[in-house]
Amino acid sequence: AWPPAADPAGAPDQRILRTPLKVAAGYAVRGDAATAERRFDAARAYYDRWEAEWEGSPTAQLALELKGESFAQQGRFAEAVATLELFDARYGSDANRASLWLRLAEIYATGHGMNSKAAEYYTKVEIGYPNDTSGATASVALAVLDIDAGRHAQGRARLERTLSQFKDQRTVSATAMHYLAVSYEREGNWETAATRYNALAQEHPSTLYGMEAPLRVARHYRAAGEEEAAEAAFERAVQQYERICSEAESTPAELAARSYLVEARLDQRRWADAAKTLVETAERFADSDAAPGMLLQAADLYTTKLGDAAKAAEVLGKVLDDYPETPAAREAESRLAAL
C-alpha cells in the first residue's frame, strides 16, 4: 500500500500518484518478475480507487493515465490501448491530446505492429498541431513508416518539409536529417547518404543522432572493405567526441560523447584506449547508473583483450569499493574469484 500525501482538500498529491508505478517498474528492471507483477496489479488497484473517488478531477485524470502506462510497461499493449483510449474519451483536450495520440501511435506501432492504426494517430497530430513540435514529431514518424515500407521519395518529401518548417528546433532537425540519410542509405545511394550523415554531424554534433552519424559512416566503409577510408572516418568520429567532451564538460552530452568514443575505440580494436576511457568516464560520472557497468566492461577488456589481470583486479576492486551490495558488486566479486 502507498498512503497518499493529502493536500488540504483531501486529494492525493499528484506527485505521489506516480510512486506505485515507479516501484513496480523498479522490480521489473531488477528482474524480479513475480514481485513486479504484484506491484503492477496493486498500482492499478490504487489508481482505480483514486479515479473512482475523485471522478472528473485532475487526480482521476492522472490516475487513469498512469493505469494505461502500467499496462504498457508490462507489455500488455491491448489493455494499454483500451485504457488510454478511454482516457481520451473521458479527459482528452487540446492540452493533452497531442502527447496522448503520440503515445497511442507508438504503442500501436511497436507493441501491436499495427502501422496503419499508428499512422491514423500520427496523422491526427500532424493535422491538429501543425505548428507545434508534437506535429513535427508526428510528421517524422509518418516519414519513418514510409521509409520502412520502401516509400522513400514520399518519406523524404515529408522530412524535407519538416526540416524547412522546424529548422531551428535542434532535436526535430537532427532526427529528420538522420532519417533522410537512412533513406538514401537503404536505397543504395551511399554517396548522398554519407553527405547527409556528415552534414548532420557538423550541424548537430552534440545530439545523439549527430554523435551516431560519424560512426555509421565509418562502419559502412569497414563493411565495404575500405579500411583506409574507415580508419580516417573513425578518427574524425573520435575527434568529434573529444571536442564535445571538452566543450560540454560535466554534462549529459559529455557522458554520451564518451560512450560513443568507447564504441569508436572498440571498433578500431584499440582496446587500451577503450578501457582507459571507460574507467575515466566511470570516475567522472560516478553517480551515473552506467558507471558500474563501464568498470565491469573495462575489467573485461583488461582480462580478455590486454591480458592484464592485475589491472582487471584493480578495476573490479573499485566496483566493490564504490558500489557495494549491488548486482555489479556481486559480478565483480565473482570475476575476482575467477582471476
Give the pLDDT confidence of 286-310 residue by residue, as tens digits: 999 999 999 999 999 999 999 999 9
Please, what is the average pLDDT of the chain? 93
Contacts of 339 (CB under 8 A, 6+ apart): 303, 309, 312, 313, 316
pLDDT at 157 over 80: yes
Number of Cβ atoms within 10 Å of the Cβ of 298: 28
Residue range 62-81, pLDDT digits in tens? 999 999 999 999 999 999 99
206-225 as b/e, with b when 16 or more CB fall inside 10 Å? bbbbbbbbbbbbbbbbbeee
pLDDT at 6 over 70: no
pTM listed for this prediction: 0.86
pLDDT at 174 over 80: yes
Q: Could you tell me what percent of the chain has a pLDDT over 70?
A: 96
What local confidence, expressed as pLDDT, does residue 318 receive?
Answer: 96
CA distance 324 to 335: 15
Grid coordinates given for 192 = 548522398
Give mean pLDDT, residues 57-63: 89
Alpha helices in the chain (DSSP H): 14-17, 19-29, 33-53, 58-73, 77-91, 97-106, 115-128, 133-148, 152-165, 170-187, 190-203, 208-223, 227-247, 252-267, 271-284, 291-304, 309-322, 327-338
CA-nearest of 60, 18, 20, 55 to 40 is 20
- The phi, psi pair for 166, rounded to 5°, reads -120, 35
CA distance 262 to 267: 9
CA distance 68 to 243: 42
What local confidence, expressed as pLDDT, does residue 54 receive?
Answer: 86
Q: Is 13 left (phi over 0), alpha (psi -120 to 50) or beta?
A: beta
What local confidence, expressed as pLDDT, does residue 9 receive?
Answer: 55
Q: How confident is the model at residue 10 (pLDDT cuts 50, 70, 90)?
A: low
- The phi, psi pair for 12, rounded to 5°, reads -70, 145
Q: How confident is the model at residue 11 (pLDDT cuts 50, 70, 90)?
A: low
